[in-house]
Each structure stands twice: as C-alpha cells, then as structure tokens.
Amino acid sequence: MSFFPEPIHVSFDEDTMSVALDDGRTIIVPLAWYPRLLGARPDQLEAYELSPSGVHWDQLDEDISVQGMMAARVTFAPPAQAAE
C-alpha cells in the first residue's frame, strides 16, 4: 500500500514538468533537475508511462517517483560552491 498519491497525467512547458496526482495536487518541477528530460525532444517527453509510484520514459531510460519529486530528490549533482 502506497502512502503517496498516484500520478494521473504529465505535461510540459519549456522549463517545467507538471505531474497531476489522483488526490488533486499537482507537482511542478524544473526540467533542469532531470538532464535526460531537459535534453529530450517533445515526442520523447510525451512517450511516458505512468505507474502507481511515478513516471517512466523507456526511450530516455528515466524513472521519476512521486515520492522523489515530493522530497525534491533530483538526478543531478548540484554545482560545487565557488571558492572564496
């Protein structure tokens, strides 16, 4: 049994991904958090599959969980702090 809501729809604009959840909330995250999505063509972005726990893109080899998005777990390493 999942404690997290399930995704029901995904949409994109130039800079963000929006994931509608079955509890009425929508998660909006920057595409910059997910380099594979950021560099993808629109047709690749739209070729997603929903699961009870998240979103999968077979062509892009990318899986993003609702839990990860809600906890702001991203798939890139933040840039190192500049030396003072």
Token pair in block for residue 59: 């062509």
Question: Using CA atoms in the order 83, 74, 35, 44, what is the torsion angle rounded to 10 degrees?
Answer: -170
pLDDT of residue 80: 47
Residues in the chain: 84
Q: Which CATH architecture has domain 7-70?
A: 2-Layer Sandwich (3.30)
DSSP H helices in 1-83: 35-38, 42-45, 66-70
pLDDT at 18 over 60: yes
Phi, psi of 42 (to 5 degrees): -55, -40
pTM of the predicted protein model: 0.81
